[in-house]
């Protein structure tokens, strides 16, 4: 019995002796050599390559306007779409967009034709489709023709700052606008998570100021599966209140030529109180066919608008698109 009571004390003494010996050996051993800056940079780049490469590739395949603005690549884009919704007439739309990288400015000056920067009211007024492309003019709208020059002051993977000056034709009137846009990328260094912050301020000679803020969190779940959680808010001088969207999206790469996007959007309007305006569920399938620059899309969806007491409204979008200019494949990470 006495030996049984002494056992914990003996074990504790042996443990402290082991700790002391280990500490003495660590103190006498020479400190490890610090990694060279070149090695540290290479290790950081290798770790960060996962989520950043996946997000970059999937955004390029789906032609995300938030990232394509920064691409130093001359492109010409044309599409034709048909949207069908229950109890509504089918809507046919077409659009064109041209971006030229002007020589002699170290790829910092872009000329954009037929792109409408006034896309925020379309985002807020209709949650049925993805964020409109500010470099694409929709020909079935009267205010979609613009020409602008965008100059990049900062242009790297972490930061991007640009200033734009342009004009547009809206309701038969010529409207001018200056714009400032800033983007910052925060990489957590684990190779699986990254944050992107974007701020955009624009002033129109007819409607005044407009500001938009967007925060994206990208998480690489698997080599071919990317989850994106987004918060975007828009304030416009000519519209009362503040509107924002909460977006959850999962991108799944099926093959080098096909990918899926699963999306859930909650659209809110803050005027006198926080109000949920609409809920959207959508699956977007996009595939290139025949040629690498030719795409077709099918996007079924369900919307639950507040004016209709959140009754489900089904719809589907068909789109054919051609993009002239180098387009990467859909494979995110190998």
pTM exceeding 0.85: no
Residue 94 domain boundaries: 60-324
Mean pLDDT of the chain: 79
Is residue 31 domain-resident?
no
294-325 pLDDT, tens digit per residue, is: 999 999 999 999 988 999 999 999 999 999 98
Give pLDDT tens digits for 81-128: 999 998 888 999 888 889 999 988 888 999 998 754 444 333 333 333
Q: Which CATH number do you get for residue 317?
A: 2.40.160.40
Q: Are 112 and 102 in contact (CB under 8 A)?
A: no
Is 207 among the domain residues? yes
Largest distance between two CA atoms of the chain: 101
Does some domain include residue 86? yes
Residue 187 lies in a domain: yes
Burial (Cβ within 10 Å: 0-12, 13-18, ≥19) of residue 109? middle
In the three-class reduction of DSSP (H, G, I as helix; E, B as strand; rest coil), residue 121 is classed as helix
Q: Structurally, how many domains does the chain consist of?
A: 1
Q: Decide: helix, strand or coil at residue 219.
A: strand
Residue 208 located in a structural domain: yes
- Asked if residue 110 belongs to a domain, the reply is yes
Average pLDDT over residues 266-276: 84
Question: Is 24 part of a structural domain of the chain?
Answer: no
Residue 100 lies in a domain: yes
């Amino acid at each position: 019995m006495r030996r049984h009571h002494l056992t914990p004390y003996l074990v504790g003494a042996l443990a402290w002796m082991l700790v002391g010996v280990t500490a003495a050996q660590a103190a006498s051993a020479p400190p490890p050599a610090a990694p060279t800056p070149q090695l540290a940079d290479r290790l950081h780049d290798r770790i960060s390559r996962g989520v950043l490469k996946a997000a970059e590739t999937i955004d390029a395949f789906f032609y995300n306007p938030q990232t394509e603005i920064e691409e130093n690549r001359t492109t010409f884009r044309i599409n034709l779409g048909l949207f069908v919704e229950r109890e509504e007439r089918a809507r046919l739309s077409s659009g064109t967009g041209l971006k030229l990288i002007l020589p002699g400015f170290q790829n910092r000056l872009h000329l954009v034709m037929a792109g409408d920067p006034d896309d925020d009211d379309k985002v807020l007024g209709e949650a049925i489709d993805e964020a409109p492309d500010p470099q694409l003019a929709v020909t079935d709208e009267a205010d979609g023709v613009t020409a602008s020059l965008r100059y990049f002051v900062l242009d790297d993977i972490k930061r991007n700052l640009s200033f734009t000056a342009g004009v547009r034709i809206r309701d038969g009137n010529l409207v001018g606008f200056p714009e400032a846009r800033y983007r910052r990328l925060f990489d957590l260094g684990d190779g699986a998570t990254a944050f992107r912050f974007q701020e955009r301020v624009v002033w129109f000679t007819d409607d005044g100021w407009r500001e938009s803020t967007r925060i994206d969190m990208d998480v690489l779940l698997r080599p071919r599966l990317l989850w994106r959680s987004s918060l975007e808010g828009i304030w416009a001088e000519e519209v009362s209140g503040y509107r924002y969207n909460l977006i959850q999206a999962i991108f799944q790469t099926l093959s080098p030529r096909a990918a899926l996007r699963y999306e859930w959007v909650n659209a809110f309007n803050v005027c006198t109180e926080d109000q949920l305006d609409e809920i959207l569920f959508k699956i977007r399938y996009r595939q290139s066919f025949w040629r690498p620059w030719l795409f077709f899309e099918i996007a079924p969806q369900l919307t639950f608008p507040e004016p209709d007491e959140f009754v489900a409204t089904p719809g589907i979008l068909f789109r054919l698109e051609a993009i002239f200019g180098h387009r990467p494949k859909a494979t995110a990470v190998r």
